[in-house]
């Protein structure tokens, strides 16, 4: 329901903004339905399906385990993105990158919550599976997006992904109807509007980054938010973490920073 509400507001907004951000968006969108661009259309729609799956999985995880932990486990996706880039684009990870990916996975393991009165072992297992699953699906999204964005502009591509998610989330409500009489609609609409606007901006910038620097590098730079997410969750909804989990988030953030530093050093060498 939350996904459908935010997409219901954002997709029309994106359609109107697309013409201002990229005047040729409508022409390029129409061109997708020609025979020569059918492969790009399939890739764009495929990314829309993957977006729906990873957002749904992430929502499930956030509902079952602490937000900071769910997002930290999700942000292991650079590891999977790097492996997929090696498989599909021949971008073999360096020894340094292998080491840092191992650091990220160790840090993620430290954040896994233990059974308690608040979180049962069954709930934790589903939350962990959903978080990692969302990260793996998002890694595939990044790889297919990189391939698609070689021939397609990020603005209409992002709109197609969001429109596909709107359609799929609407269809899913037919199978799992919400009990609307028990919902407080005002905060839901406010949260949906804010979430949708932030999501639109974030995805557009991420797709621009994928087009400019590639999926692997973009995912590395863009995955610097686990620590910030935990901090915001602590400030806004009073979520607390134990010392080991805090260390784990710090380790993941450190690993991501090291990978970003590697990319920065490479860019400096290219300039020289």
Query: Does pLDDT of 143 surpass 70?
Result: yes
Mean pLDDT throughout 39-68? 87
Mean pLDDT throughout 51-57? 91
User: Bigger pLDDT: 16 or 47?
Assistant: 47
Predicted pLDDT of residue 50: 93
Mean pLDDT throughout 1-18? 80
Give the least confident one: 63-72, 170-179, 262-271.
Answer: 262-271
How far are the Cα atoms of 27, 42, 219 from residue 205, in angstroms, in the given order?
22, 22, 12
Average model confidence (pLDDT) across the chain: 77
Predicted pLDDT of residue 227: 61
User: Bigger pLDDT: 110 or 227?
Assistant: 110
Query: Does pLDDT of 137 surpass 90?
Result: yes
Predicted pLDDT of residue 52: 92
Provide the pLDDT confidence category of residue 167 given band limits of 50, 70 and 90. Answer: very high
State if pTM tops 0.85: no
Mean pLDDT throughout 172-182? 70
């Amino acid at each position: 329901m939350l996904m459908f509400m935010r997409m219901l507001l954002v997709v029309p907004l994106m359609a109107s903004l697309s013409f201002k951000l990229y005047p040729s968006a409508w022409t390029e969108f129409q061109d997708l339905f020609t025979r020569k661009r059918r492969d790009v259309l399939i890739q764009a729609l495929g990314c829309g399906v993957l977006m729906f799956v990873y957002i749904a999985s992430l929502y499930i995880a956030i509902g079952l385990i602490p937000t900071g932990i769910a997002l930290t486990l999700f942000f292991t996706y650079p590891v999977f993105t790097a492996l997929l880039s090696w498989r599909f684009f021949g971008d073999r990870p360096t020894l340094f990158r292998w080491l840092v990916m191992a650091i990220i996975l160790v840090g993620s393991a430290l954040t896994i919550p233990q059974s308690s009165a608040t979180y049962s072992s069954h709930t934790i297992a589903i939350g962990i599976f959903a978080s990692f699953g969302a990260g793996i699906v998002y890694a595939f999204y990044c790889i297919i997006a990189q391939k698609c964005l070689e021939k397609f502009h990020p603005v209409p591509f992002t709109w197609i992904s969001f429109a596909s998610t709107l359609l799929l989330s609407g269809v899913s409500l037919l199978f799992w109807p919400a009990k609307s009489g028990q919902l407080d609609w005002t905060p839901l609409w406010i949260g949906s509007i804010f979430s949708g606007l932030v999501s639109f901006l974030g995805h557009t910038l991420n797709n621009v980054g994928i087009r400019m620097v590639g999926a692997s590098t973009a995912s590395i730079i863009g995955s610097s938010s686990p620590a910030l997410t935990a901090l915001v969750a602590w400030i806004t909804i009073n979520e607390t973490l134990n010392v080991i989990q805090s260390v784990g988030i710090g380790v993941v953030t450190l690993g991501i920073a090291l990978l970003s530093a590697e990319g920065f050093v490479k860019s400096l060498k290219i300039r020289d």
